[in-house]
Amino acid sequence: MKKSKVILLSIIILFFYNCEDDSPAPLDIVYSTIEDLHAPQEGGQGQPISGEFTKFDFDSGLATESSTEWDIAFRGTSIIINGGTSLGTANEPERTGDAGAYIYDGLMTEMSIVDTALFEQDSSEGYAIATGSGNGWYTYAGAPTFLISPTPGKILVFRTRDGKFAKVEILSYYLGAPENPDAFTDPSRYYTFNYAYQPNEGITEFN
């Protein structure tokens, strides 16, 4: 009888061990660079802005034309998220997800833990990533260079449409990401950026 109990206990332990063994391993954090993502717009310079947004999906790491499976989208210097509501400008895609965003002040490597209390969403009052020079991700130099440059130390942190997390460092707004861009000769509205994507649901760390 005692021997039977030992065998039964061994079977139970082995069963639970195998169950734990079957649990999926965490997915690796994705680190990537996107080069020359084109974000054209129409209008500006005092005229109404319009044109389709260029949508991006962190899960695939690709631009997409899907009306639902996108996380962030670009048009000119504006960056919107798939969460909240429209600001009311022309051609904004419908928000169907629960994306959020905030700006972290510091280096990309320093942004290691997401602060979920800071997330905001797009609304009729403004985008979660604020527009305008010095308000969000860029600085506009004005005359004589008229350059749009990523503001150093501004890391964009996103909650994706389905509740995962990503962080983005914008490197350039000009085609080919020239080291010393010339606003008169280098085509603009081409985003080059580094990003890290945490594909594991509920995990807020980038370690």
Is position 204 within any domain?
no
Residue 112: inside a domain: yes
pLDDT the model gives residue 23: 66
Evaluate whether residue 71 is within a structural domain.
Answer: yes
The pLDDT score that the predictor gives to residue 47 is: 80
Q: How confident is the model at residue 43 (pLDDT cuts 50, 70, 90)?
A: confident
Given a cut of 80, whether residue 101 has pLDDT beyond it is: yes
What integer pLDDT is reported at residue 81 of this predicted model? 98
Burial of 11 per CB tally in 10 Å (0-12, 13-18, 19+): exposed
| CA angle centred on 207, ends 18 and 150, rounded to 5° | 145
What is the DSSP annotation of 63-95?
Answer: EE--SSS-SEEEETTEEEESSB---S-TTPPPP
Identify whether 93 is part of a domain. Answer: yes
Judge whether 168 lies within some domain.
yes
Q: Which of 39-43, 80-84, 162-166, 184-188 is predicted least confidently?
A: 39-43
Residue 22 confidence class, pLDDT cut points 50, 70, 90: low
Residue 150 lies in a domain: yes
**108 within some domain:** yes
Question: Does residue 151 surpass a pLDDT of 90?
Answer: yes
What is the pLDDT, as a whole number, of residue 2? 47
Question: What is the domain extent for residue 100?
Answer: 26-198
pLDDT at residue 92 tops 70: yes
103-128 pLDDT per residue, tens: 999 999 999 999 999 999 999 999 99
Q: What is the per-residue DSSP string for 51-67?
A: ---EEEETTTTEEE--S
Q: Is residue 167 part of a domain?
A: yes
pLDDT at 6: 41
Going by their DSSP bridges, the two strands 148-150 and 30-38 should be labelled as unpaired
Give how many domains the chain has, as a whole number.
Answer: 1
As a whole number, mean pLDDT of residues 43-53 equals: 85
Which tens digits make up the pLDDT trace of 5-21?
Answer: 444 444 444 444 444 55
